[in-house]
Structure 1
């Protein structure tokens, strides 16, 4: 009788191969180098591989479709190959194992989870019987910058699927993600009037002073009770200390828990007005990831996963996350479950790590989801 194999050491060896190919989003050749390795892994499987050429400075996207189950909506698995760490960061954070932790750039977010999804699919293909639903695995190259070149593909595949499983890392000790805030990004450009700050200050109109007004307005939009956060993360302006600044700039991040919040607050930011005569403001931006709200279908999917986890031997607890993922694009219309990747800590940091003890149970959970969803 054929049985699935979930040897943590063998799986970790596979994860290591993916981690040691550095893949910053802005280095498409590196991302494509990993895409080559991932695609090679499907060549001996009953699956068809489609490779979509990268554009706008991003790498290629991969779509692997099982040879069965194409006649009806199936399971879509979302993963990304890009990481935030710059090229060469692996010298600072080389792959290494210390106790239960394996370290490396992107190992937690999310090469560990992406590899688990591949491994679970590989084990599925080794079984003599085919599952009720087909499986499509989508690996994108630009998630860490908001998925600008893959969003349309994600949404199209999501609309065709019955379920979406996202291999982003687990949260807070292995929690699954059943909701995420929506993400909006804005750029604010301010134009004032320059003047000599010592001899003719009254002739000037300070763009930086107006930026201060705007920052106060934006900060006042923060509402911890509602879960709304507004962060002015980048500011620039001025030329010299003795010149009334003619220009200023700010980049803003906003997170909202519901679409209703987005509908209220996005227009307010886009409609910001100058309080200073002679100073103009231009605001650009949008909600680039809609809120991922827990639907009835999503709740049922979570309960199914929770039952499977209990059979495997661990308790699966759900949570909401303030961070966005590609699951935000599919949750509004397809049952979506996120945070199915490895457990660990330190995403995007110099100590990023995954817990080796999470490999087997998380891989088994993905495998059982592939097997049992119908």
Structure 2
């Protein structure tokens, strides 16, 4: 670890340069052209700084993804980082890359381009220290996490099935930089109600309002939220009706479900699929499914956190904490297939908010933490020394 930390400190200015570069390449989830351009940059950057093999995974509708591989051996460690952001193109003009004291701000700097760059430089530090690992490291940069992984899910899950451990470079939790050892799973549903239309002034008694039925369903659904167990049901969007003087024939609700365990998500799913109309004169159609399973705090995940905590305390003088969150990430997709530790990215605040920023003083520390975890779980085969390694590569 001492050699790796020395390399990280040596490369700090270069790491900052690449951080600025990637933040100033805007990469809104819906802009395929810019995402594809950044994918090429990531591929070139990985080859330039680390070596190994890179592959552009071409996608027709969404941004391309990048798969990078470094090292060799039996088994693999998977590192995940998305490079799309929620910020529309042009945000950089009003929210430029800026350094104010210890705060570095800009669109996507915290979620999650800071973590991405830290991950690249963690591998570079291992390489520059002349350390050969016993397992290969696969890094997957995906372009559509912010919109639910419509095209990257398959590739993420395939890599997870082949991996011994997964590290996700999403931001740490709160200003403490807590690692995420649990994430709720997510379900996405749609409720369609059909009533009987009629004139609200002439024949109101002949109509049955779909909006009225939907309203009663929403009240019941929200009543199923249980903060003690962590299960939440939220109707976040509704639509319906055709005119103010018409008893509504149609009404629709879009529903978000969160749960801490697979068992609980499946329970809620079955409950939703079995819903019946409150007013028997209406018709109700439910559609949707579990979008991503939870990242549960299993024994393997707890062991990974304890390892991270030991590395942080012994080598970095940092007392690491763990957190759980209701938000989803790439880690939810890998958790069913391989032990996953999330939140290893930047320390800061303001994901998806105007005050988005990371703390410059924590970059080296987080980079070193990831490097330590990689070496621990990939295994150190040999240490050649910096000069020997550079000579070998040349």
- Alignment TM-score, normalising by the size of structure 2: 0.90
- Quote the residue 1:254 is aligned against: 257
Separation in structure 2 between the aligned mates of residue 270 and residue 320 of structure 1, nearest angstrom:
28
CA distance in 1, matches of 2:17, 2:271: 50
The answer for the alignment partner of 1:21 in structure 2 is 25
Rounded Cα–Cα distance in structure 1 between residues aligned with 2:140 and 2:234: 31
Correspondent of 1:320 among 324, 332, 338: 324
Q: Deviations over 1:254-278 (max 9, x none)?
A: 1100111112111111222212233
Q: Distance in 1 between matches of 2:184 and 2:63?
A: 26
What does the per-residue CA deviation read over 1:302-338, in whole Å, with 9 as the maximum and x for residues that have no partner?
1111111112121111111111111112222312110
1:274 corresponds to which residue? 277
> What is the correspondence of 1:103-182 to structure 2 with a 5 Å cutoff?
103-172=105-174, 173-182=176-185
SS in 1 for 2:233: strand
Aligned to 2:334: 330
Tell me the distance in 1 between the aligned counterparts of 2:225 and 2:131.
Answer: 53
- How far apart are the structure 1 equivalents of 2:97 and 2:207? 55
Residues 156-305 of structure 1 mapped to structure 2, 5 A cutoff: 156-172=158-174, 173-305=176-308
Contact 2:8–2:121 at 8 Å: present in 1 too? no
Aligned to 2:81: 79
**Residue 38 of structure 2 corresponds to residue 37 of structure 1:** no
The alignment's TM-score, normalised by the length of structure 1, stands at 0.95
Structure 1, unmatched stretches of 5+, are none
Q: Which structure: greater helix fraction?
A: 2
Check if 1:356 corresponds to 2:355: no
Give the drift of 1:8.
4.0
Q: Which whole-Å CA distance do the structure 1 matches of 2:28 and 2:285 have between them?
A: 31
Partners in 2 of 1:38 and 1:365 — Cα distance? 22
Instruction: Select the residue among 91, 96, 99 that pairs with 1:89.
Output: 91
Q: Distance in 2 between matches of 1:39 and 1:186?
A: 37
Q: Which residue of 2 aligns with 1:101?
A: 103
* Number of equivalent positions: 371
Contact 1:166-1:327 at 8 Å conserved across structures: yes
Question: For the residues of structure 2 that align with 1:82 and 1:46, how far apart are their CA atoms?
Answer: 24
1:52 aligns with 2:57: yes
Q: Does the CA contact (< 8 Å) of 1:309 and 1:365 recur in 2?
A: yes
Aligned residue for 1:130, secondary structure, equals strand
SS of match in other structure, 1:5: helix
Cα deviation, 1:184-213, whole Å, max 9, x if unaligned, reads 111122222221111111222211111101
1:93-118 CA distance string (max 9 Å, x none):
22112221111111111111011111
- After TM superposition, the structure 1 stretch with the greater mean CA deviation from structure 2, 346-355 or 88-97, is 88-97
Provide the rounded CA distance (Å) in 2 between the counterparts of 1:112 and 1:197: 57
Asked if structure 1 preserves the Cα contact closer than 8 Å seen for 2:240 and 2:251, the reply is yes
- In 2, Cα distance between equivalents of 1:187 and 1:8: 48
